[in-house]
Amino acid sequence: MDTNSPREPSSRDADAPPAPPPAGPFFATWGPLDGPILRSHEPPALGIVAAPDATWPIGIAFAAGQVQHRRGVAATFRLVLDQQELEGRWLCVGREFVRLGDAAEEL
């Protein structure tokens, strides 16, 4: 048997429910340490890591829009981990990803 060839998917693999998305927290490999990534920073696609001092990415964050923030127009991101997009849009504040609704500030 050739152990170097890719495994053929079985019907059992196709019927298996997808794994639940990771719970976080999630951190970025780039961005300011003291506030949100602003649209004016022209954010690239960012590596997602599991801890602030981690170097090996577990996913990728893509710029997906913008929202008003007290410091200016902040970039929003969509997060993809293990080839699965997480629900919602995210801000990156102090290099930590925060779900957009959870990042709301008092006016």
Number of domains within the chain: 1
**Is residue 95 in some structural domain?**
yes
What was the pLDDT predicted at 107? 44
What was the pLDDT predicted at 61? 98
**Is residue 71 in some structural domain?**
yes
**Is residue 66 in some structural domain?**
yes
Q: What is the Cα–Cα distance from 58 to 38, expressed in whole angstroms? A: 23
For residue 73, the enclosing domain spans 22-103
With pLDDT > 70 as the criterion, what percentage of the chain qualifies?
Answer: 82
**Is residue 51 in some structural domain?**
yes
Handedness of CA 87, 27, 94, 102 (dihedral sign): positive
**Is residue 29 in some structural domain?**
yes
Q: If pLDDT is split at 50, 70 and 90, which confidence band does 9 have?
A: low
Higher pLDDT, 32 or 15: 32
Q: What is the Cα–Cα distance from 90 to 100, expressed in whole angstroms? A: 5
Query: Which residue bears the tokens 């293990």?
Result: 82
**Is residue 9 in some structural domain?**
no
pTM above 0.85, yes or no: no
